[in-house]
Structures are given as structure tokens and as C-alpha cells.
Structure 1
Amino acid sequence: MKFRKASLALRATIAIFSFLVIQTAAQAQDKPNVVIMMVDNLGWGEIGTYGGGLLRGAETPVLDALAEEGTKLLNFNVENQCTPSRSALMTGRHPIRSGTTRVVWGVLYGMVSWEVTMAELFSDAGYATGMFGKWHLGDVPGRFPTDQGFDEWYGVANTTDESWYREQLQYDPEVGVQPFVQEAVKGETPTTVAPYTVEKRRLIDSEVNERAIDFIERQANADKPFFAFIPYTQPHLPTLPHPDFEQITGNGHYADVLAEIDHRAGEILDTLDELGLRDDTIVIWTSDNGPEEARGWHGTAGFWRGQYFTALEGSMRTSFLVRWPGMIPAGRVSNEIVHITDLLPTLASIAGYEVPSDRIIDGIDQLDFFTGKQETSNREGFPIYVGDDIFAYKWRNWKVHFWQLDNMFSAAQKLNVPNVHNLLSDPKELYPDRTGETTWVLPPILKRVVAHQATLLQEPPIRLGTPDPYTPPE
């Protein structure tokens, strides 16, 4: 009798376990896949749907179609340099909190392991996570992508101009940086694939796509939801196309690269279609910051003024396309403010992961806005940092500059009286109000600046160069 009771109990346990396994599998299948494609230093005005395309020497039919299939944001805002933008995306936090406010060379940088990344959250929610491309958030053990939540990674750890070092004047291989293309899986030290040379620079984005497509296909075959982060290297200088795209437009290297950028997006989108994943996948396509300033490689911000490394709109606003068939409205265009930190909490509502509650998260859940349940964004503004200083604050259609910095090569000037710009009437930020007719804007903006600064006392920022292990002060 005791044996029969034990047997019944065992069968009941097995039945419950089987039910839970089936339920977990069903829930996993219900989770939408997420693909984020991020190009490097592409201005707001480059692709056709934002007024570029043919005007920049190359049509962009794939991305123009993607804009029609989903929602296009005219007021998506990032940080003003590569490292800060990627940190903000990964953590949902302003980079001032993470010690990732600027691009640096030759020193310890990147996110401490205490930071919780989007990749870690996706992984905790049962997603396969893969990153393919440029990281720029740390290049030492503990700070590679596979130390920060990604199951696998293929790409470069730092900036793409490193590929050019070997060919520069009086380069000394004894002391000069020798960059490599690397690959890794979670829990293992990255291995070297090949030197990152100018020749490899031309090939890297095609290789990134090959790895990303292989990852997507493997997860589809395993019926496992996935998060694929694909941060391309183009059009960061040196802006040189893949050999297959050399002279394809007849309009120079930049136009050739623009055609390649469009093609790479098409390869990923075609893969999703071929695997029957279009309706089950959220696709985001964007850039990490505004265009290059360096002559010969420079891009354009189109309607706006300025390049990256500044607080101008041309630095902060980038193109942003998002598609989720049946969930996100097709053909919708919005000028509502969204910030790159918003993606982490927004995707939490979709993927089912928990947003960290033990630290300040600056991102705001924008799911209802993205899905069209509301016409307005849940965000009215945000502080704009250049390095460790607030250079400006953007609020509604207003922009207040506390510092003047017209380009990355000039010296910043602290303003005695802040410059107030109405971005609707002065989109290029050329004509600050000198009449006093808009000074009403200063109190509500300064109130928000002070409130933000108070949070830095509440949770002291991590300093650039902080080593691991890091423990926040009590």
C-alpha cells in the first residue's frame, strides 16, 4: 500500500513536472524575438526615408520599406559618442551613472560587472543572446560582451579607426595598438580571429551578418526566442565599402557604404522572412549617434545641425525604425521624444524580464506609445551630457544650452546666460532668444536639471577607470 501511494505520488509529480515543462515551452514560444541593428555614426539625414538616399548618392529601398512597414521616429535621441550611447542602451541608465560618458584611448574603461545589461535580462528571461559587431564598452576580461550577458559574440571590442593604425605615419608595432577581430562564447576568454586591418575593415560587416544569420537560424531551429544585437561598423571612418560595393553607385565611397548599409539590413530582414519569423520578431534599426565630423569621411544630419561629440540636435537625433507586425502601427511617423535609455524598460514589457530595482533606471516604458495605444510619448525631456558635464537640456520643443560647442574640434564655452532655442522655429539652433520672450522656459527646465543632479547625490556615479569588483557605496 505504501508502494502504491509512493507510485501515485511519483506519477503525480511527473505529471506536474511535464505540465510545467510544456507550459514553459509554450511561454517561450510566445515570447517575440528581438533584433536591434545599430549602425555607427550615421547621421539623421542619410537614408531615403529621412530625406537622404538619392540626395546622398545611393538609394536605400530596404530601409525605406522598413519605415513603411513600421513606425518611424523623428525625435529619437541618443548620446553624443559611441561608448555613452551603447552604455545607455545596455543599461537603461544615463552614462554619467556608469562611468561611460566618453570615448577614451589606452585606459581602463567600460561597464563594471555590477551593471546589469539588457543582454543579461534577456538571458534571465529565457532568451538566447548573441552580439555581432562593434562593442566599445570594454576590452579586458570581465568587460567583453560575453561577460555582460551575451551567449556569443563576433566582432571588434573597440573603435573602427583602430583598423587604420597600422597604416598611419610612423606606426610602431612595438608600442602601437594591434587590434583584432575576436569571437567568444559565454564563460570563455575571447579568441583572436584575424588582425583588424583596413582590408578586414571592408569585410567585417558582411562577416557580422553571416554570424548573425547563423545565430538566428540556429535559434529558429531550436524554437528558442532570441535577442540579436547587431552593431555594425559602418559608416565610421575609415568609411570604406566591401569590395562587392566598391564603385557600385559611382558617387564615391560614402555613397557605396550607404548602399551597403541598406543591403546588410535587407539580409537580416530576408532571413526573418525565410524562417517565417517576421510576425514574431521586433526589429529595431537605428544609429548610435550623429555623423562624422572629420573631413573626407563626414556625414550629414540633414535637417539638423552638428556632428557627434556635441550637444547639437545633429549629434543627438538619429534615425529610428521599429517594426512588429500587428502590434506596432505601420506607416506611422512621430515627432515625440524618445531616448535610447527607454528601450530597456520598453522591451521588458514585451520580453517579460524584470527591470532592476536596486539602482536608478532613467529609461521610461514606451510600449503603449510604440503600439499606438497613445499618441504621446511618456517622456518630455532629458539632460544632454558632453563628457561629465550637462551641456544642454531638451524639454518638449525647447532646448536650453549651458555650454556652446559647435563642433568636436572646437573649445567648449561656458555661457553666462543659457541659450534658449525653440526647435520648431530654430531647428538648427542658430538663433538663441535675445529678447527675453522665452525666459519662462528656464524655470521648468532648471527645476528638472536640479532634480536630475539630486539623483547623483542619491546614487554617486561610478568613475571612469573604476576597476572590478565594484560595490556601490551605501
Structure 2
Amino acid sequence: MSMIEGIKFGSLASLVGVTVAFSPVLAQQPRKPNVVVMLMDNLGYGELGVYGGGLLRGAATPRIDALAGEGTRLLNFNVEAQCTPSRSALMTGRFAIRSGTYEVPIGGVPDGLTQWEVTIAQLLSGQGYATGMWGKWHLGSAQARLPTNRGFDEWYGIPRTYDEAMWPSLDETRSMWPSVGDKQGWSARLVEPEPIYEARSGETPRVVATLNVDNRRTMEAEITRRAVDFIKRNASAGKPFFAYVPFSLVHMPTLPNLEFAGKTGNGDWADCLAEMDYRTGQVLDAIKQAGVEDDTLVIFTSDNGPEATNPWEGDNGPWRGTYFTAMEGSLRAPFIIRWPGKVPAGRVSNEIVHIVDLFTTIAHVGGADVPKDRPIDGVDQLDFFFGKQEASNREGFPAYVADRLSAVKWRNWKVHLVWQENMYAPPQKLPLPKVINLLTDRKEERDVAAYNSWVADPAMKIIGGLEESFKMYPPIKLGTSDPYTPPSR
């Protein structure tokens, strides 16, 4: 299997180090740790108090800030440029360019992951974990590709995206966005509204509501209620669990629950930050109340950089750019990890970690082996997270925007091949790569290639290793239907 050069790979182990308790009669099996991943939607780097936002954005985020103090906070956690690619990378440990999930699906072709892909939920389910998900999937809207056919025992949420909440409300909510009238506007006869599903493994998903603005406002409360129930139910039963909680906030339309509307006095965005912090706290409280806090790995992060559409623009902190680009404001996301007694509390690191690494690391935590019949780009970061080493097991990665290789990050350097400052700007292929020193130029304003051309060498090794692996394992094309069989080598 060909792997990307320039990236150091950590060793895999078959089981997390835990203490085995012995009785005089027989050895008890060690308890498998629980895993809770809270994935915010388009939460920019500069929104949370602990990342320089909070009150500066109109609402404090005390629960999330406290979580950062209880664990390790990363300053250089990187995601893919769009929602679907990031979620695909998390679920499979593979760069989305490999899986045909490198851009948000528009419609008209099969969308999402082929059934050939192996998800982290499938790996953990095979290790005896209860698996649950609540929120946006965005990795396939056909029934065979929905979460409960991809390793999750239960799911509540939407198959695609929250933009579609605006369709049924175009004429109902004129104060928010312009009405185009009945004659030329959206109609369910033309395009069906997005369903909200409730599903369990082995059963046909059941449509419980239609996504509209009213239901959009209540999604966070319902996601939290179901996640809390799942955590308490499985903790009570003594069953290890994987809770994947892809929250809806702060994706456009960025609207708070009516219980939070007007709470901050600083507008919808601040009200949403306040609600997001509160819902996060509810999940953390459930873990504690269930008595499994010390046995639970908690990850809090975001799938993308900030929103770019008025009036829901997000904040990218000290960086430049929005999602749908290869700027740092797109690639860097907030990231907090907590596991009491294992992950150092109060630690802050600027080491590079990529969202694909969560797949491999969580598999290690759960005692699962990653697939050996395909390239897995994620590296095991458990020793780094545990503080056993200061350096990440990754030095860099290629940054794709859709199917365009737009940049390469290596250590604290960025090499731009395509220039695009925000999602609405046209991408421009550069005649010569731009080299940016991210330590001295966080806004990516100064090309220092003339006297740092040496940076191209390690960057090109990353690209070369990726392209070499494509020869042995050709990328899956966007819109590939099932069943997919990889070409013989």
C-alpha cells in the first residue's frame, strides 16, 4: 500500500492501555472506553471564547471553554474545505478525493459514500460498541447509504444539508430572505422537501417531519435530547458506546431555538453561540451523570471554516478566508479533546492534525484494526494526544477544494497552487506556487517563494506520494453507484 511521503505515521495498537482487574476465579475483560464526537457545522476558528471569540462575538461560551481547560486544545487542527468531504474523511480515514466525496453533492447523480467504504461506526460496531448518530449525514441520501446501513444502530436527522430548510419558507418568511413568488419559486411538485428521518439498523427509515425553518430551529434540542438518552441508556447497561453528534449550529440559516432567541440581545448569531454552548454542556453533563466521565473520550470540533453568506457570515479568527477555499480560515478548525487521566489537561499545541486522523485514532481506542486493502490517510495520534510525545505523527497534507489540488501544508509552511480567498471568488491557477510562512504571515499576504524555494521539496514529496498511490488505487469518481468494486491491481 502506497502512503503519502512527508507524513510520519504512528504505530497502531490493538487495544487502549487499561488496567485489567483480576478476580480469584477469572479475569474480567477490560472495559472498552466510550467515544463521543461533537461536530459543529461551519464553526469558524474565531467563534469560541477560548479561541478569541465568545464575548467578542456577543456570547460567552463557558462550557466549551471549560472543556478546553480539562483537556488538550489544538491550534492547527485541519479539515477539508466543504461539509461532505470533511464528514467523509472523519468516517473513513481517507482523503475525500479518494472516495468520490470531494464536494457537496448538488443532485442528479448518486451521492455519498459507496458501500465499499468502511466507516468508523462499522469498525466500532464490530468491537461490540453501541453506535448512534443524530444530525446531518451528508454522505448519501439513498436508503442503502444512510447511517443505519453504514454501521450506526440508530439515527435521527437529515440526509443532506440545512440550506434546504429555506425552500418551504421562501414565501412564509419574507423578512429573512426575498420571496420569488409562487410562479417561479420552489414547489414540492418540482423538488421534494428534505425529510427528517428516524431510523434504526435493520429497519426502514421513517420520515418524522419535513425540514423547514421551524424544525430547523428545534434541531439542536432534539439532537441533544436523543444523544443524552443514548449515553445514559448504554452507560446504564454497561455497554461501550460511540456517540457521533453532528450538531446543526452554526450552519446557515443560522437561527436559534426560540428559547434562546433574544437571550443575548446581540442578534441571532450570538444567540446561536449561547445555545451551542448550552447544548454542549448538556451532553457533557449526561456523561458525568452516567458515571462514565473517566471512561469517555470526548472530542469537540467543527467540519469547516466559517460561513461566507450574508447575513450569516462567521468568524475566522486570525486567519484569512472562508470554507470552500484552501486558505487557513477554511482549513483550521477549533479542536478540543478530553479523556480524564489520559489526555493532559490545559495543554495547547500548534502541531498539525488532520480530520482523517480521527478515524485511525478512534479505531485504536476501540480496539479495531483499520482496513488493509485500501489507502488509509489517517495516522494514529493517540500517543500525541496522551502527551507521550510533543510532536504530532503528521507533518503535512494536501489541501483539495473539490477536485482541485489547491495547496499543500508542511509544518508551518503553506504552498498555494490555486489562489482563492473566499468561496465566491473564482479559483485562479497560479503560474508559480506561492510559499507562505504561517508563523510570520497569518493572513497569507506575502509570497516568500523567492528566498524559500526549498519548501517546494517536502511539499512536492507529499503530492508525489499521493499521486503515486492513485496509480495503485485509483480514486472513486463522483457519482459512482453501488456496487462498487475497485479495479484489480
Corresponding residue number in structure 2 for 1:405: 420
Which one-letter code corresponds to 2:465 in the other structure?
A
Partners of 1:400 and 1:385 lie apart in 2 by 12
> Which one of the candidate residues 446, 455, 465 is aligned to 2:479?
465
Partners of 2:329 and 2:198 lie apart in 1 by 34
Which one-letter code corresponds to 1:165 in the other structure?
W
Q: Rg larger in 1 or in 2?
A: 1
Corresponding residue number in structure 1 for 2:3: none
Partners of 2:105 and 2:235 lie apart in 1 by 38
Tell me the percent identity: 56
Corresponding residue number in structure 2 for 1:433: 448
Which one-letter code corresponds to 2:479 in the other structure?
G
TM-score after normalising by structure 1: 0.94
Partners of 1:255 and 1:384 lie apart in 2 by 31
List aligned pairs for 1:84-95, cutoff 5 A.
Answer: 84-95=85-96
Corresponding residue number in structure 1 for 2:374: 359
Task: Please state how far the C-alpha of 1:82 moved relative to its aligned partner.
Answer: 0.3
Partners of 1:321 and 1:119 lie apart in 2 by 21
Task: Please state how far the C-alpha of 1:222 moved relative to its aligned partner.
Answer: 1.1
Task: Please state how far the C-alpha of 1:348 moved relative to its aligned partner.
Answer: 2.0
Listed as ranges, the gaps of 5+ residues in structure 1 are 1-18
> Which one of the candidate residues 371, 389, 394 is aligned to 1:379?
394
Corresponding residue number in structure 1 for 2:466: 452
Partners of 1:272 and 1:411 lie apart in 2 by 45
Q: Deviations over 1:166-221 (max 9, x none)?
A: 12232222012311211111122211011111000000110011111111111012
Partners of 2:192 and 2:389 lie apart in 1 by 50
List aligned pairs for 1:308-327, cutoff 5 A.
Answer: 308-327=323-342
Partners of 1:318 and 1:352 lie apart in 2 by 27
Aligned residue for 1:153, secondary structure, equals strand
Aligned residue for 1:244, secondary structure, equals coil
Which one-letter code corresponds to 2:417 in the other structure?
F
Q: Deviations over 1:368-420 (max 9, x none)?
A: 10000000001000000011121000000000000011111111111000000
Corresponding residue number in structure 1 for 2:359: 344
Task: Please state how far the C-alpha of 1:91 moved relative to its aligned partner.
Answer: 0.2
Count of aligned residue pairs for this structure pair: 451
Task: Please state how far the C-alpha of 1:349 moved relative to its aligned partner.
Answer: 1.9
Task: Please state how far the C-alpha of 1:458 moved relative to its aligned partner.
Answer: 1.0
Say if 1:165 and 1:177, in contact at 8 Å, map to a contact too: no
Corresponding residue number in structure 2 for 1:121: 123
Aligned residue for 1:131, secondary structure, equals strand
> Which one of the candidate residues 216, 230, 247 is aligned to 2:262?
247
List aligned pairs for 1:4-403, cutoff 5 A.
Answer: 26-27=28-29, 30-107=31-108, 108-168=110-170, 169=180, 170-403=185-418
Could you list the structure 1 runs, at least 4 aligned residues long, displaced by more than 6 angstroms after superposition. none
Q: Deviations over 1:93-121 (max 9, x none)?
A: 00011000000222321000000000000
Q: Deviations over 1:278-301 (max 9, x none)?
A: 101000000001000001001011
Say if 2:320 and 2:421, in contact at 8 Å, map to a contact too: no
Aligned residue for 2:74, secondary structure, equals strand
Aligned residue for 2:348, secondary structure, equals strand
Partners of 2:291 and 2:224 lie apart in 1 by 18
Listed as ranges, the gaps of 5+ residues in structure 2 are 1-22, 171-179
Partners of 2:148 and 2:300 lie apart in 1 by 22
Larger helix proportion, structure 1 or 2? Answer: 1
Relative contact order higher in (CA < 8 Å, ≥ 6 apart): 2
Q: Deviations over 1:131-169 (max 9, x none)?
A: 011110011021100011000000111100111111223
Corresponding residue number in structure 2 for 1:11: none
Aligned residue for 1:322, secondary structure, equals strand
Partners of 2:161 and 2:447 lie apart in 1 by 35
Which one-letter code corresponds to 1:398 in the other structure?
W
